[in-house]
Amino acid sequence: MASRRGVLGGLLAAGALAGGDARALAAERGTGDLGIVVERASGSVQVVETTGRTSLGRIAGLGDLSHASAVFSRDGRHAFVFGRDGGLSKLDLLRGVVAKRVVQAGNSIGGAISDDGRLVAVGNYEPGGVRVFDTEALAPVADIPAAYGPGGTARSKVVGLADLPGRGFAFSLFDAGEIWIAAVPPDGPPEVRRFRDAGRQPYDGFVTPDGRHYIAGLFGEDGLARIDLWRPELGVRRVLQGYGRGEEPLPVFKMPHLRGWAVAGELVFLPAIGRHELLAVDRRDWTERGRVPTHGQPVFAVARPDGRQVWVNFAHPRNDVVQVVDTQSLQVAHAFTLGRGVMHLEFTPRGEQVWISVRDSNRVEVFDTRSLARLDSLPAESPSGIFLTARAQRIGF
Amino acid sequence: MASRRGVLGGLLAAGALAGGDARALAAERGTGDLGIVVERASGSVQVVETTGRTSLGRIAGLGDLSHASAVFSRDGRHAFVFGRDGGLSKLDLLRGVVAKRVVQAGNSIGGAISDDGRLVAVGNYEPGGVRVFDTEALAPVADIPAAYGPGGTARSKVVGLADLPGRGFAFSLFDAGEIWIAAVPPDGPPEVRRFRDAGRQPYDGFVTPDGRHYIAGLFGEDGLARIDLWRPELGVRRVLQGYGRGEEPLPVFKMPHLRGWAVAGELVFLPAIGRHELLAVDRRDWTERGRVPTHGQPVFAVARPDGRQVWVNFAHPRNDVVQVVDTQSLQVAHAFTLGRGVMHLEFTPRGEQVWISVRDSNRVEVFDTRSLARLDSLPAESPSGIFLTARAQRIGF
């Protein structure tokens, strides 16, 4: 028995500092409070920590990071960054290096990691489909072309890729109007279930926090599509049919994102396409329960982890504001004007802080979500997505 | 900019092994997949990881660990272990050592960590009350005696201590029949709100995953007590009044635990005291929706993170079995006979594995929760509680 003398006995005394603007990245530290901030214009990310709210360093050379997103290994040490140019980069957050990088497609749009942490899947526009890699070496494991049409010769863009329990993934085919559910067993080919006629032009999708419902937003129809993954035999059902998409001929400046996890108590909050409002949907029967008028066209609507607030950012040209919606009263309780280009926001897992990227002011702003006081403001080069390692511990992130 | 050359540049090559049965505890690793297994009889814990499903080493010298529980720092590096003898031990999981230890009371019963990670609170039987320490040095921050009765001279045992958003804690006073809500501001004394006449002999309590409802089980009454923490002005309300506690004069072999987080979709599953059944309660209106007959008196009823199953263990003498309840049909779907003294069970955060401690066989059994296949069996000395670092990322754990 090692007793209190210690198993490693203080082999490592101090961390080390090196390189450029790196400040304090040390190898011996916990990873539960780490995250990355995407610096879109420079193809880099900053590694940050949310306990002292500091930047630990920068990792560059990641290619085109417009619309980039990330998932994390189950131990929180590695980030997998999905670039728009098809690049898939595995970052070692402890050492601050690119551990591995492959360019796996010509144009891609996000990805997911399997529940066992062994597989990373990427949704591709070109060539349309999903490619699956092992998380250790980024070696190819499976290729799922999004084939459709006569003879199955066409390839659809893939959007809304989300993980499911059981080494599973759900995703939508924009051009084909289909939703596919795939499981990738440890041995043998992927098992794919196709749902045809899911709806016209699904543009994004998400899985509810319990992994049960997959929801796809439809650009070509006035509604959303839903599959109950516990009862897939029921097929695709419509949600909020006729909510008003296109009712007013507002131009759509930016497609909203559905990955905000705005599941708050009994309600799910969804951005309405082309409208200045959020839709509040009953989680039990998927009917509309109310609408919240907002400052602009919502892009991300993200629930604070306790579900008592939903924080919202907006499309150009109204993208300088963040609004805080009270989920009990369905009213906007507060608004911040933060500068042009509020791109993304991410809560710490217990919700006491929110990190907000403001592109044109080159800042990441950190707020206390109860007092609404600004806790810190960190410099960053045109920051966009913010992703914390706690995502590794959630279904469907 | 540090670019791909790396911020730390490979300062650390390999981990090191040392001491007794320590196998692979290395300082440079992620902490998101770590956990501890309490070895009650020997006053030690094993540090384990759930990716390769191995034990990394043992940390001893922790005193009386009967009924011990643990919480984790927000970075996942440190565990705070609450011993029955009032000992509060801060463990460094990366180095495998006791970083700090205080004996803060004569008899204690679990604790909680604040949402900002700065405070650790301990619920004490003797002297009755809550003591709060800073997580850095375990220095005292606040003392909240559970004073009640004429002149406030009596001290009640404290049970069911849970964290709340905003550096808050909720707990119950067994002898006083009260529930208290306390917030500990960064400066100034704790702000305590007392709810008197909460019910007779609250024996445990928990907070729902959204931090909204605090529920206390009552030993002295046929029902439970609930406070809506978003509307505390409504006071304490009864849940499941008259569910049948004491209806059949079964002896109560072991008090059930309510911290199982058996919140599954729209239902909350609660062990019925002294009965061989689980109660299924509607999360929206807190009325009974059904009962599940079980093998014995439930001790822990824990929802798989997707909420599709609840796994249950039982009191002596029927403590050799684990049952799996399907939350849709409210039926027992499977049962395992694992040996005498099934003490605790813990899911990995995305639910693909469950770890189960079996005291008398000196094993921790790990199962795949979908195939129900046994993945691994690890030796441990009289294992009891199992706690994974992902708890740091949850409200109310």
Question: Is it the case that residue B34 has pLDDT exceeding 60?
Answer: yes
End-to-end CA, chain A: 40
Q: Do B78 and A1 touch (CB under 8 A)?
A: no
pLDDT band, very low/low/confident/very high, at B342 (cuts 50, 70, 90): very high
Q: What is the pLDDT of residues B103-138, one digit of tens each?
A: 999 899 899 999 999 999 999 999 999 999 999 999
Q: What is the pLDDT of residue B13?
A: 25
C-alpha R_g of chain A: 21
Provide the shortest C-alpha distance from residue A174 to chain B (in Å).
28
Alpha-carbon distances, residue B43 vs B111, B244, B341 (angstroms): 18, 38, 18
Q: Is the peptide bond before A305 cis (omega within 30 degrees of 0)?
A: no
Contacts of B72 in chain A (CB under 8 A): 32
Question: Is it the case that residue A251 has pLDDT exceeding 90?
Answer: no
Q: Do B95 and A25 touch (CB under 8 A)?
A: no
Segment B328-353 shows an average pLDDT of 97
The pTM score is: 0.92
Question: Is it the case that residue A11 has pLDDT exceeding 70?
Answer: no
Question: Is it the case that residue A281 has pLDDT exceeding 50?
Answer: yes
Q: What three-state secondary structure class fits B4?
A: helix
Question: Is it the case that residue B26 has pLDDT exceeding 80?
Answer: no
Q: What is the pLDDT of residues A34-54, one digit of tens each?
A: 999 999 999 999 999 999 999
Helix (H), strand (E) at residue B269 = strand B267-271
Q: What is the pLDDT of residues B62-110, one digit of tens each?
A: 999 999 999 999 999 999 999 999 999 999 999 999 999 999 998 998 9
pLDDT band, very low/low/confident/very high, at A397 (cuts 50, 70, 90): confident
Q: How many C-beta atoms lie closer than 10 Å to residue B16's C-beta?
A: 15
Contacts of A17 in chain B (CB under 8 A): 7
Q: What three-state secondary structure class fits B240?
A: coil
Q: What is the pLDDT of residue A94?
A: 95
Q: What is the pLDDT of residues B219-270, one digit of tens each?
A: 888 889 999 999 999 999 998 888 776 555 455 556 667 665 678 788 999 9
Q: Do B32 and A72 touch (CB under 8 A)?
A: yes
Contacts of A76 in chain B (CB under 8 A): 30-33, 76
Helix (H), strand (E) at residue B282 = strand B277-282
SS (H, E, C) chain A: CCHHHCCCCCCCCCCCCCCCCCCCCCCCCCCCCEEEEEECCCCEEEEEECCCCEEEEEECCCCCCCCCEEEECCCCCEEEEECCCCEEEEEECCCCEEEEEEECCCEEEEEEECCCCCEEEEEEEECEEEEEEECCCCCEEEEEECEECHHHCEECCEEEEEEECCCEEEEEECCCCEEEEEECCCCCCCEEEEECCCCCCEEEEEECCCCCEEEEEECCCCCEEEEECCCHHHCEEEECCCCCCCCCCCCCCCCCCCCCCCEECCEEEEECCCCCEEEEEECCCCCEEEEEECCCCEEEEEECCCCCEEEEEECCCCCCEEEEEECCCCEEEEEEECCCCEEEEEECCCCCEEEEEECCCCEEEEEECCCCCEEEEEECCCEEEEEEHHHHHCCCC
Domain ranges of chain A: 104-253
The ipTM is 0.91
Provide the shortest C-alpha distance from residue A133 to chain B (in Å).
17
**Residue of chain B whose alpha carbon sits nearest to that of A28:** B28
Exposed (0-12), middle (13-18) or buried (19+): which is A337, by Cβ within 10 Å?
exposed
Tell me the β-bridge partners of A192.
A182
Q: How far apart are CA A197 and CA B128, in angstroms?
A: 63
Segment B343-369 shows an average pLDDT of 97
Contacts of A11 in chain B (CB under 8 A): 16, 27
Q: Do B370 and A116 touch (CB under 8 A)?
A: no
Q: How far apart are CA A382 and CA B272, in angstroms?
A: 55
The encoded tokens of residue A200 equal: 């016209």
Q: What is the pLDDT of residue B318?
A: 96
Q: How many C-beta atoms lie closer than 10 Å to residue A197's C-beta?
A: 12
Q: Do B1 and A44 touch (CB under 8 A)?
A: yes
Q: What is the pLDDT of residue A186?
A: 93
Task: Tell me the residue type at B223.
Answer: G
- Quickly tell me which residue has 């070696």 as its tokens: A139
Q: What is the pLDDT of residue A172?
A: 97
Q: How many C-beta atoms lie closer than 10 Å to residue B307's C-beta?
A: 24
Q: What three-state secondary structure class fits B283?
A: coil
Q: Give, as one character, the DSSP assignment of residue B190.
A: P
Q: How far apart are CA A253 and CA B236, in angstroms?
A: 49
Contacts of A306 in chain B (CB under 8 A): 165, 210-212, 395
Q: What is the pLDDT of residue B30?
A: 97
Of B272, B366, B292, the closest CA to residue B332 belongs to: B292
Q: What three-state secondary structure class fits B174?
A: coil
Question: Is it the case that residue A255 has pLDDT exceeding 60?
Answer: yes
**Residue of chain A whose alpha carbon sits nearest to that of B99:** A4
Provide the shortest C-alpha distance from residue B99 to chain A (in Å).
9
Contacts of A18 in chain B (CB under 8 A): 2, 6-9
CA dihedral in degrees (B36, B362, B346, B179; nearest 10)?
Answer: -80
Closest CB from B32, B61, B393 relative to A75: B32
Q: Do A2 and B19 touch (CB under 8 A)?
A: yes
**HSE on the CB side for A95, CA within 13 Å?**
19
Provide the shortest C-alpha distance from residue B247 to chain A (in Å).
34
Q: Which residues of B36-55 are buried (b: 16+ CB within 10 A; e: fewer)?
A: bbbbbebbbbbbbbbbebeb
CB B122 within 8 A of CB B130: yes
Q: How many C-beta atoms lie closer than 10 Å to residue B149's C-beta?
A: 11
Question: Is it the case that residue B363 has pLDDT exceeding 50?
Answer: yes
Q: Does domain A104-253 have CATH number 2.130.10.10?
A: yes
Of B193, B173, B285, the closest CA to residue B235 belongs to: B193
Q: What is the pLDDT of residue A37?
A: 98
